[in-house]
Amino acid sequence: MAEFNDNLWAPWRMDYIRSLDHEAEEDGCFLCRYWQQPDNDRDHHVVWRTANTFAVMNRFPYTNGHLLIALSQHKGDFADLSEDELTEMTRSIRDGVAVLRKVLKPHGMNVGYNLGRCAGAGLPDHLHAHIVPRWNGDTNFMAIIGNSRVIPDALDTLWNDLVRCAKESGLVD
């Protein structure tokens, strides 16, 4: 992500980077934990689930609406994915793009995978795609969000909007 988002200033991501090794030791894989706790989807900001994937808002977003499309299983290598998993990842990315387009009306989006830590992956062993909405002149995300302390509230509010749109789109029962 760092490569194509060098112009975005998201200082709270330093907290994330510092927490990575600590979190890995303390809590295991957060994507596995989220998948295994469907009753906590609101707290975790999981937006919808399919048989083999789920969409979750990034707690340390590059921009408003930064979504992760994650595999349900703890696999980090494309070579290990079944045909169903490959297809569902692509479909969920398609749906994520559609939901973000409806709710946030971005001017563009970055969609991609970071494979390996040197490529920017915080969680290299659990495959997930990033969808990052972009706006013309969005180099200063702070203008939208204000400061890192309002992030949790902003996430809750947007989660409600995304889930409503996902329901209207038939992604959530």
User: Is residue 29 within the footprint of Zn ion (CB under 5 A)?
Assistant: yes
**How many C-beta atoms surround the C-beta of residue 25 within 10 A?**
8
Binding span for Zn ion by CB under 5 A among 54-62, 78-86, 98-106, 126-134? 126-134
The residue (of 32 and 109) whose beta carbon lies closer to Zn ion is 32
* Start-to-end Cα distance in the chain: 32
Which residues form the catalytic set? 128
Which ranges in the chain belong to alpha helices (H)? 13-27, 30-36, 41-44, 83-104, 142-145, 151-168
Name residues whose C-beta falls within 8 Å of residue 77's C-beta, 6 or more positions apart in sequence: 127
Rounded distance between C-alpha atoms, residue 138 and residue 125, angstroms: 31
Which one of residues 1, 8, 10, 31 is an interface residue with Zn ion (CB under 5 A)? 31
Rounded distance between C-alpha atoms, residue 173 and residue 156, angstroms: 20
Binding span for Zn ion by CB under 5 A among 12-20, 29-37, 44-52, 85-93? 29-37
Q: Which of residues 64-83 bind Zn ion (CB under 5 A)?
A: 74
Q: Which of residues 32-61 bind Zn ion (CB under 5 A)?
A: 32
CB of 76 to Zn ion, least distance (A): 9
CB of 86 to Zn ion, least distance (A): 18
CB of 132 to Zn ion, least distance (A): 21
Q: 25 with 69: CB under 8 angstroms?
A: no
* Total of residues contacting Zn ion (CB under 5 A): 5
Contacting residues toward Zn ion, per CB under 5 A? 29, 31-32, 74, 126
